[in-house]
Amino acid sequence: MATPDSRLISPRFPRSGKYNPDWVIANSFGGPVLWLTEWLTDSLDLRPGMRVLDLGCGRCVSSVYLAREFGVQVWGADLWVAANENLHRVKEAGLGDQIFPLHCDARSLPFGGGFFDAIICVDAFSYFGTDSLYLNYLAHFVREGGQIAIAGAGLLKEFEQKVPEHLRQIWTQDFWCIHSADWWRRLWEPTGIVAIEVSDAMTDGGQVWVDWQSTAYPSNREELEAIRADAGRNLGYVRQIGRRQKNIELAAYCFPDTLRTMLPEQLISHPVLRTAES
């Protein structure tokens, strides 16, 4: 009798345990995207039929999870993975009619205003969302009352001075974009664009990082040793969820998108079909 595969089984992430660990590892981009998606969506208001933007979806692991677990329609947008590759992957998962991959830049999104009921971004937002004006842009694509939710690698608190010695061996330039939950709250909250509903760090996130890394990438000994040495003092995972507020005016001139997707000041409306009078 074969021994059950216990890799990536965690009581903290029961839904994620249903997925084939070989599929999860092969299609992940470094971080525990499935665990992070489960943690993030535990605090989201997702219902069947909703339209969800999975921003920076990578190889659509998070998109598959969203579609399967919540019955939502997902637009998986990514810059680094071709749409046809992701389409092949989602069709293999039997979700080709529910997930719609796109190859696009997070700063040039091809959607109409208010198209989505929710926007999520798992382990990618730090790469493009630290710009103080980006929330003004992104909020345009979610309806009023819809949620914007991010989760990924982060700090428990911002470094006051230098990077700790035990982390310097892994601290490449891309690490400078990760921040604490408090930092993200200070970036979003003053704008008034969203009401912050959740902004926190994962309990024992450092150990979760070790558990993932030791299973998915055991040969990356340098990172594994650094995270173990850190022992959850500095590095872990953070999330933030904001709900778009009503009657908050977004500034078109702040958009990084040269397509300028804001509506014109005045729209002229006419009935689509002829009436008896016309």
Q: Is residue 60 part of a domain?
A: yes
Instruction: Say yes or no to pLDDT of 262 above 60.
Output: no
Query: What total of structural domains would you count in the chain?
Result: 1
Residue 31 within a domain = yes
What pLDDT is attached to residue 1? 64
Select from 209, 36, 50, 207 the least CA-distant residue to 124.
36
**Residue 4 belongs to a domain:** no
Q: Report the C-alpha gap between 78 and 29 in whole angstroms.
A: 12
Task: Please state, in angstroms and rounded to a whole number, the distance separating the CA atoms of residues 67 and 177.
Answer: 29
Does some domain include residue 188?
Answer: yes
31-42 tens-digit pLDDT = 999 999 999 999
In a domain, 48, yes or no: yes
Q: Is residue 5 part of a domain?
A: no
DSSP for 94-153, written as a single string: T-TTTEEEEE--TTS----TT-EEEEEEES-GGGT--STTHHHHHGGGEEEEEEEEEEEE
CATH code of 99's domain: 3.40.50.150
pTM of the model: 0.93
Give me the numbers of helices (H) and strands (E) for the chain, helices first please: 8, 7
Alpha-carbon distance of 102 to 248, in angstroms, equals 29
Q: Where in the sequence is the domain holding 114, given as residue range(s)? A: 16-254
CA dihedral 76, 81, 83, 88 (to 10 degrees): -100
Pick from 37-46, 113-122, 263-272: least confident: 263-272
| pLDDT band (50, 70, 90) for residue 260 | low
Query: What confidence category does residue 59 fall into, taking pLDDT thresholds of 50, 70 and 90?
Result: very high
Q: What is the pLDDT of residue 263?
A: 58
In a domain, 250, yes or no: yes
- Whether 276 is in a domain gets the answer no
pLDDT in tens, 173-200: 999 999 999 999 999 999 999 999 999 9
Tokens 């399967």, residue located: 68
- What is the pLDDT of the chain when averaged over all its residues? 94
Residue 142 has pLDDT above 90, yes or no: yes
Residue 12: pLDDT over 60: yes
